[in-house]
Amino acid sequence: MEFGNNVVVTVGHKAKSEHFALAREMAEKLGAPFSERGNTSLDALRAIYGVPFVMVVKEKLVVDTPDGELYFHPGMAHLRLKNLRRGENDHLLRSLGISEGMRILDCTLGMGADAIVESFGAGTEGEVVALEKNPVVAALIAHGLQTSEGEHPATVAAMRRVRVVCTDYLDYLRAQAEDSFDAVYFDPMFRHPFTESAGIHPLRFLADPRPVSEEAISEARRVARSRVVLKESSKSGEFARLGFTEFEGGKYSNVRYGIMRFD
C-alpha cells in the first residue's frame, strides 16, 4: 500500500503566517506537494494533484477525506482518564498489566486514544512508543499529541510523553532486542467493523487494514517481557487464529482484549 503520494498539503482560507509555516513543514515531512490554496476548493485541489486526501492547516490540523475530516481529538481518552482518576478500572490498562515506570509498545497508534491512556498508566517514569504505518495519520496525531490542550494537566502531560514512530510494526519489532518492552499492544482495524464509529470513521480510508500476522505475534512475544495484548471484536476468530486464550473486557461490550502473559 502506497501512502506517500496520495495527499496534498495546504492552508485554510484566511490563513495566518504560522499556518503556512506548518503546512510547508508537513509537506516536507510527508514528501507531499504544498499548495498556497488561494481561492481553490479542496475538491479542485484533489483533482489538480490527483490525490484523495488534503491536509489542511487552519486553527486545527485536519485531513480532509472522502468521508469527512480526520483530526486529533483527545475526547475519548479524557473520559477514560477521568474514570481512572476516580479509581475506576480501564480494561486496556488491566490487560497490559501497566504500572508506573513501564515501557509499552503500542503497535497501532491510530487516533492515539489508547496510547494516551497507556502513557497515563505508565506515568512520568514510564515510556510509550506508538507506531503508525500511515505517514499522514502519524504526522497528524503526533502533532495533536504535542500541541493539543486538554481539560486536565495530567492528560496533557500523558499526551506529550507518547513517542510516535512512523513505521510498520513488523519491521520495528524485528529490530528490537528480546524483552525490551514490558508489554506490546495491537489494535488492528477490525476484520468486521461493527460499531457505528468504526463504520463511518474517516480513519478507515487511511488506515492499514491488514490482519496481524503470526510472525508479528511471535516477534511481539520475543520483544515483550511480560504481555502481548490484542484488541478485537468479541466474536472475532482472530484470537483463536493467533493463539490467545485469556481475555479481558466488559461483559456486554463488543470489544475484547486477548492476553498472552509471561509474568
Ligand X SMILES: C[S@@+](CC[C@H](N)C(=O)[O-])C[C@H]1O[C@@H](n2cnc3c(N)ncnc32)[C@H](O)[C@@H]1O
Closer residue to ligand X (CB): 203 or 242: 203
Structural contact between residues 224 and 198, judged by C-beta atoms closer than 8 angstroms: no
Chain position whose Cβ is nearest to ligand X: 110
Q: How far is the CB of 80 from ligand X (least distance, A)?
A: 10
Residue 256's closest CA among 118, 241, 237, 199? 237
Distance (Å, whole) CA 6 – CA 26: 14
Q: How far is the CB of 86 from ligand X (least distance, A)?
A: 21
**Residue ranges binding ligand X (CB under 6 A):** 107-108, 110-114, 131-134, 137, 168-170, 187-189, 203, 207-208, 210
Q: How far is the CB of 36 from ligand X (least distance, A)?
A: 29
Q: How far is the CB of 22 from ligand X (least distance, A)?
A: 22
Closer residue to ligand X (CB): 37 or 74: 74
Q: How far is CA 5 from CA 15, 164, 165, 250, in A?
A: 24, 21, 19, 41
Closer residue to ligand X (CB): 192 or 210: 210
Distance (Å, whole) CA 216 – CA 225: 15
Closer residue to ligand X (CB): 41 or 147: 147
Q: How far is CA 124 from CA 98, 103, 114, 155, 157, in A?
A: 13, 11, 17, 12, 8
Q: How far is the CB of 10 from ligand X (least distance, A)?
A: 23
Q: How far is CA 207 from CA 86, 107, 133, 210, 259, in A?
A: 33, 13, 8, 9, 24
Distance (Å, whole) CA 167 – CA 164: 9
Closer residue to ligand X (CB): 97 or 211: 211
Q: How far is the CB of 37 from ligand X (least distance, A)?
A: 27
* C-alpha cell at position 80: 477514560
